[in-house]
Each structure stands twice: as structure tokens, then as C-alpha cells.
Amino acid sequence: MNLNNAPQRIRWGVIALLIGIAIFLSILDNSGNLDNALAFLRNPLIAILDWTSARTDTLADALSGPRDLQEAKTEIERLQERLDALERENEELRESQGEAQLLFDLFNRARQAPELTRVTANVIGQDTNPAIRSIIIDKGSEDGILVGMPVESARGLVGRVFRTAAKSSQVVLITDSASAIPTRLGTSRATGILRGGGLGGSMAIDWLDLKYQVEIGEVVSTSGLGGKFPQGIVIGRVIEVERREAELFQRAIVQPAVDTESLEIVFVITDFQPIETDIFSDTTETP
């Protein structure tokens, strides 16, 4: 082995190592990893800890995924319960608003005719008897309710008291086939007897004189004649007119103002001043 060439070989080896290091550093610099390499050279322990920490965080995230999903499901269930509670509260508020509007309408009706004495009653049932159209209210003889008293709502006439018990009463509706109400039309001023059509039938005023120009849309109200109903309670509107020139009369079909299927609160008129006509029924002359 030639020892004289050893320093030269060492020198060339160092030069080759430096060139290799330069090439390696250039590659690291081009790939963006030079800073990481220098940081590793400055403090190898910290670099190793950073690398393991990044992998640990990745693994922890993967393991925490199911837990986050369960938390999300729990939060969704909580929000759904809150939404259901808000919807129930909204329904209750709408119901309260409807009740307040109903009471306001009833108050307005009472204010329009302050001369009438009324008892407020709740509708507690619909009569199931197909032979008679009626409702049941929660006021009876103990409350001063008598047979024959008129019953109205905020929108118009409902009917008359037919039977009473101590704490309830049966009210025959104006739509019942046995109902007969003296009426007056608002525009033409024609008068007649309004009769109910019964189940599935229409209310109608028959035998109207052809001299009256009855029009569709006219308001039909109680005339007060006969003393059974106060004057001026709205019943409905004319929706059809049948003129029969050959028979010298006409017929008006009336749509009721009150939806009897949705009644909740009514007034029982316990006192009013009737228009008496019975005194003229006796035609016997007195000396």
C-alpha cells in the first residue's frame, strides 16, 4: 500500500464528500425541506418529537371521529326537541289569538245592541239526531234560560232554545226544517218567513211579492214581527232569486251568516222588547 498517496486520496475524498453534501443540500432546498433538515441538525430531539406529534395528532383525530359524530347526533336531537317545543308554543299562541278575536267579535256584537240582555254560553255538543238540527250549550234553567229564547253569535242569528235542563240547553238551529223566522231584506225591504232547509237543504224565503226587486247579495235580518226574535239580527245573504212571473211570486235562497259546525261561544238573549202583533188578531168589534 502506497502511503505517499494517502493524503491525496483523503483530499479527493473530502472534496467528493463536500460536493455530495452540496448536491444533497441543493436537492433539499429545491424540495422545500432544507429548513427541516437544518432544524434536525440543530436539535435532532425536537425534530423527532415534532414528527411523532404530528402523527399522534392524526391518529387522535381519527379516533375522535366517532365521538364527534355522537356529539353531533345528540345536538341534533336537542335542537329537534327545542323545535317541537317552539311549534307547540306557536300553536298555543295561534289558538289564544283565535279565542281573543272571537271574544272581541262578541263584545262588538253586544256593543251594537246594548238594549238586549244576554247570557254567554259555550257550545258543548252537536245533536246527533238527524231529525233535528241543533246544538247543546252549557247554560240551563239555573242560569235563567227558558224555552223559546233567541240565540245569536258574533256573526248573526243561531236559533232558539228548544229544551232546557238545569245546566244545559238544546238550541234548534235556523237551518232546521221546522224553523220559521220573520225576516226583512236589507235593500228591497221585502218581508217574509224564512224557513230552514233541514239536513242538506237550503234556507229560503217563499211567497215574496213580485213588486219587490230582490237582488243577489241582499242582507237578510230578523224583522221583529211576531215577538219571537229581536229586530235587526243578521241571518245571512241572498244567494239566488227564483222569479215566477206566472205564479205572481218569487223565492229567495239564503246562505246563513253563521257556520253552525264551528260554533264555540253564543249569546242567549234573555230579555228584549218584542213587537207585539197579537192584539190585532182579534177582529171582533166592541161596542
> Other CB atoms closer than 10 Å to residue 158's CB: what's the count?
27
Under a CB-based contact definition with an 8 Å cutoff, are residues 260 and 268 in contact?
no
Q: Alpha-carbon distance 3 to 50, whole Å?
A: 47
Q: Alpha-carbon distance 150 to 269, whole Å?
A: 5
Q: Give the pLDDT confidence score for residue 141 in this predicted structure.
A: 95
Q: Give the pLDDT confidence score for residue 113 in this predicted structure.
A: 79
Q: Give the pLDDT confidence score for residue 255 in this predicted structure.
A: 95
Q: Give the pLDDT confidence score for residue 253 in this predicted structure.
A: 96
What are the cell numbers at 214? Answer: 230582490
Strand partners, 4: none
Q: Alpha-carbon distance 51 to 120, whole Å?
A: 84
Of 132, 110, 146, the residue nearest 266 (C-alpha)? 110
Q: Give the pLDDT confidence score for residue 244 in this predicted structure.
A: 72
Under a CB-based contact definition with an 8 Å cutoff, are residues 199 and 222 in contact?
no
Q: Give the pLDDT confidence score for residue 47 in this predicted structure.
A: 54
Please provide the DSSP assignment of 187-207 as one string. TT--EEEEE---TT--EEEEE
Please, which residues have CB within 8 angstroms of residue 85's CB and are 6 or more apart in sequence?
none
Of 178, 278, 185, the residue nearest 225 (C-alpha)? 278
Asked if pLDDT for residue 125 goes beyond 80, the answer is yes
In this prediction, residues 77-95 reach a mean pLDDT of: 80
List, for residues 21-65, the tens digit of each pLDDT value. Answer: 667 666 666 666 656 655 555 555 555 556 556 655 565 555 555
Please, which residues have CB within 8 angstroms of residue 109's CB and are 6 or more apart in sequence?
152, 153, 154, 267
Of 219, 251, 223, the residue nearest 237 (C-alpha)? 219
Q: Give the pLDDT confidence score for residue 287 in this predicted structure.
A: 41
Q: Alpha-carbon distance 240 to 259, whole Å?
A: 19
Q: Alpha-carbon distance 238 to 213, whole Å?
A: 12
Q: Alpha-carbon distance 151 to 172, whole Å?
A: 9
Asked if pLDDT for residue 163 goes beyond 50, the answer is yes
Residue written as grid cell 441543493: 26
List, for residues 180-203, the tens digit of each pLDDT value. Answer: 999 999 999 999 999 998 877 899
Residue written as grid cell 239536513: 199
Q: Domains in the chain, please, with CATH?
A: 117-275 (2.40.10.340)
Please, which residues have CB within 8 angstroms of residue 27's CB and are 6 or more apart in sequence?
none
Instruction: Kindly report whether the global pTM for this prediction surpasses the value 0.85.
Output: no
* Burial classification of residue 265, based on how many CB atoms lie within 10 Å of its CB (0-12 exposed, 13-18 middle, 19 or more buried): middle
Q: Alpha-carbon distance 3 to 272, whole Å?
A: 144
